[in-house]
Amino acid sequence: MRLRAEILALAALVAGFAASVRAEEAPAPRYGGYQASGHASWYGHELAGRRTATGRRFDPDDVMIAHRSLPLDSMVEVTDIDTGRTIVARVGDRGPGRADRLADLSLGAARLLGTNRRAVAHIRLRALRTGADNPGLVLAGASAVPPVAKPISLDPQARYRVQIASFSSQPRAEALARRFDARAHRVGRVWRVERSSLNADSAKALRDAAAQAGYDDARILHQD
C-alpha cells in the first residue's frame, strides 16, 4: 500500500512538472483579458502639472488614459467606435470620477483618436500585454485631422464673446478660466468658460489660442 502511494505521488509530481514546462513554453498572448466599451471624456491644459497616480506630472500632450483598475503604465488599445480609429495609449492615472465614464483621455490621446472635438466619445478599450507597444501608435482608422474651418467674417465695430469650453466639473472650468483670464459660470448642468467684451481681433486671437490648446469647439458669439 505504501509503495503504491509513493508511486502515485511521484506520478503526480512528474505530471505537474510537465504542465509547468508546457506553460513556460507557451507563447504569451498579445492581448490581455480585459476588454470593455463605454463612454470617455478628455481633459487638457486645465489640469496640466497635476500629480498623477504614477507620481509624474500630468502633461496634456501625453497619449494616456485614466482608468480605475488597469495596471499603471500598461498599454491599451483605444478605439473610437463611431469611426473605427484605433490608437495605443498608456494607462497613466486613476479615474474617471464619474460613474458613467469608462475612462478619461488626455488631450493628446483625444487628438490622436480624433475625439477632442466632442465632449464625450463612445470607445472600446482592449488591454495589451505589458510593454508590447508604445503610446501614440495609430493602429487603424481614417485620419483624425479635422477639416480646416472657414474663416469667420467679423465686424470691427462690434463686440464679441468667446465660448471656450463647457465642463460638468466646476474646478476644471475654473482652472481653465484662470488660464484664459475668462470666467466660469453655471448654465443648467454644466459650467461654461467664457470671455466677454472683446473686439473682433481679440475674439479671433482668443478663439485660435483655445483651439491650439485643444479646445476646438471654442466659438465666437455676438455680445448679448
From the options 3.30.70.1070, 2.40.50.90, 2.30.290.10, 3.40.710.10, give the CATH code of 160-222.
3.30.70.1070
For residue 113, which of 74, 75, 81 has the smallest C-alpha distance? 81
Domain assignments of the chain as residue spans, ordered by start: 31-140, 160-222
Question: For each of the chain's 224 residues, which pLDDT tens digit applies?
Answer: 555 555 444 444 444 444 343 333 333 334 467 899 999 999 888 888 899 999 999 999 899 999 999 999 999 999 999 888 999 999 999 999 889 999 999 999 998 998 988 888 999 999 987 655 677 777 766 555 554 445 567 888 889 999 888 877 788 888 889 889 999 998 877 788 999 999 999 999 998 888 878 787 788 988 87
- Asked: is 31-140 a CATH 2.40.40.10 domain? The reply is yes
Q: What pTM was computed for the model?
A: 0.62
Task: Please report the pLDDT score of residue 21 as a whole number.
Answer: 36
In this structure, are residues 109 and 60 in contact, taking their beta carbons and an 8 Å threshold? no
